[in-house]
């Protein structure tokens, strides 16, 4: 009888503690935010991450009723801005918006000053921006299967461009090489602009490019599109199959945009931010805006984003190791 009593007393005590913790988190989320929120962009103004941060920041300002202040803290492949957030107070007033570099940096650099898993709490996957696999019209292929066949027939002779080692187009191509067991020759340029110019001139034959950037060149027939790199077709280019649809099952490579907070931020605040972001990204206005820009609106749960990050870390760590890509 005494054992039973002790069990119930312990259970009630645990429930009381959980209730107290829950009410504390709820109280924090109800009073949050009391002041402006910093959203750190770990890259220069004008890029994809910066643009997404400003679009979302404006909508969050309207939704939360407090200013979202965008701060560009560029440098070291995004590490400077990311470290600022990792070392910031765990109060929800400093957030990070980042992309694929968040999961590739640990494998590309020999020294990273923070732990991307332990030092951050995922808030939401905001949007995906797939690439399009394009070729110069002089290359005699009109499908992914034909490209694979040509690359196997001419090992090391079919080249592809990127804006530099470790960039999303580079890693997308390396993943393609790994999964198809082909030998494509990497030709890195000093930025995406010069790489596109080289592709358009026929200096190189293949490239994985941002959908919005490449669409005008596809429409003018200066480039030939073979497939998109996402797991679902792009609403802006519904006629293009995904690479998975062409038979390369499991292929996935997209730039993505996500919001993170310093690890240990109260769950009530994280949940509040997540609910506002989800509402924004699921709105017809934002879905259309993303579609028009060649992206896909997401607005995931915290758990979905955490799972997605783990998959991304594993995928790109393997690709980077096999490709030998390094930045420093």
Average pLDDT over residues 195-217: 94
Structure confidence by residue, pLDDT tens digits, 293-324: 889 999 999 999 999 999 999 999 999 998 88
- Within-domain flag for 173: yes
Q: Which residues pair with 94 in a beta bridge?
A: 38
Both 42 and 122 in one domain: the answer is: yes
- Picking from 170, 193, 228, the residue at the C-terminal end of a domain is 228
DSSP assignments along 251-297, one per residue: ---EEEEEEEEETT--HHHHHHHHHHHHHHHTSHHHHHHHHHTT-EE
The whole-number pLDDT of residue 322 equals: 87
Calpha distance 101→246 (Å, rounded): 27
> What is residue 242's DSSP assignment?
B
The DSSP H or E segment spanning 185 is strand 185-188
Both 152 and 217 in one domain: the answer is: yes
- Picking from 160, 194, 228, the residue at the C-terminal end of a domain is 228
The whole-number pLDDT of residue 6 equals: 40
Q: How many CA atoms lie within 13 A of 115 on its CB side?
A: 5
> Which domain does 78 fall in, by range?
35-129+254-323
The whole-number pLDDT of residue 148 equals: 98
Enter the pTM of the model: 0.85
- Of 106, 77, 102, nearest to 318 (Cα)? 106
Calpha distance 315→317 (Å, rounded): 6
Both 142 and 211 in one domain: the answer is: yes
Both 175 and 96 in one domain: the answer is: no
The whole-number pLDDT of residue 30 equals: 63
pLDDT at 160 over 70: yes
Calpha distance 86→113 (Å, rounded): 10
DSSP assignments along 39-108, one per residue: EEESS-TTSHHHHHHHHHHHHHHHHHSS-EEEEE---GGGHHHHHHHHTS-SSSSEEEEE-THHHHHHHH
CATH classification of the domain holding 53: 3.40.190.150
**Tokens 């079919």 appear where?**
158
- Of 327, 10, 328, 322, nearest to 178 (Cα)? 322
Calpha distance 270→266 (Å, rounded): 6
Calpha distance 275→239 (Å, rounded): 33
- Within-domain flag for 166: yes
Domains in the chain, number: 2
Between CA 254 and CA 253, with CA 110 as vertex, the angle to 5 degrees is: 10
- Within-domain flag for 91: yes
The whole-number pLDDT of residue 8 equals: 34
Residues contacting residue 19 through CB under 8 Å, at least 6 positions apart: none
Average pLDDT over residues 227-237: 92
- Within-domain flag for 147: yes
């Amino acid at each position: 009888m005494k054992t039973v009593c002790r069990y119930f007393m312990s259970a009630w005590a645990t429930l009381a503690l959980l209730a107290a913790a829950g009410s504390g988190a709820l109280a924090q989320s109800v009073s949050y935010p009391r002041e402006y929120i910093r959203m750190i962009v770990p890259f220069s103004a004008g890029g994809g991450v910066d643009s997404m941060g400003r679009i979302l920041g404006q909508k969050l300002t309207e939704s939360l009723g407090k200013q979202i202040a965008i701060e560009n803290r560029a440098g070291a492949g995004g590490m400077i801005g990311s470290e600022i957030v990792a070392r910031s107070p765990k109060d929800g007033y400093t957030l990070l918006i980042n992309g694929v570099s968040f999961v590739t940096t640990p494998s590309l650099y020999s020294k990273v000053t923070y732990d991307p898993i332990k030092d951050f709490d995922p808030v939401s996957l905001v949007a995906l921006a797939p690439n399009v696999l394009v070729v110069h019209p002089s290359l005699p292929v009109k499908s992914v299967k034909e490209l694979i066949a040509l690359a196997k027939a001419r090992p090391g002779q079919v080249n592809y461009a990127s804006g530099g080692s470790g960039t999303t187009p580079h890693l997308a191509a390396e993943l393609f090489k790994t999964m198809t067991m082909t030998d494509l020759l990497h030709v890195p340029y000093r930025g995406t602009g010069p790489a596109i110019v080289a592709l358009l001139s026929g200096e190189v034959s293949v490239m994985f490019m941002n959908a919005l950037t490449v669409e005008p060149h596809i429409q003018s027939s200066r480039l030939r599109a073979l497939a998109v790199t996402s797991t679902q077709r792009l609403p802006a280019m519904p006629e293009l199959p995904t690479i998975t649809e062409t038979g390369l099952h499991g292929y996935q490579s997209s730039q993505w945009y996500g919001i993170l907070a310093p690890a240990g931020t109260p769950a009530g605040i994280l949940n509040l931010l997540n609910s506002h972001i989800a509402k924004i990204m699921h709105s017809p206005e934002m879905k259309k805006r993303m579609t028009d820009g060649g992206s896909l609106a997401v607005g995931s749960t915290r758990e979905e984003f955490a799972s997605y990050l783990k998959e991304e870390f594993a995928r790109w760590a393997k690709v980077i190791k096999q490709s030998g890509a390094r930045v420093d």
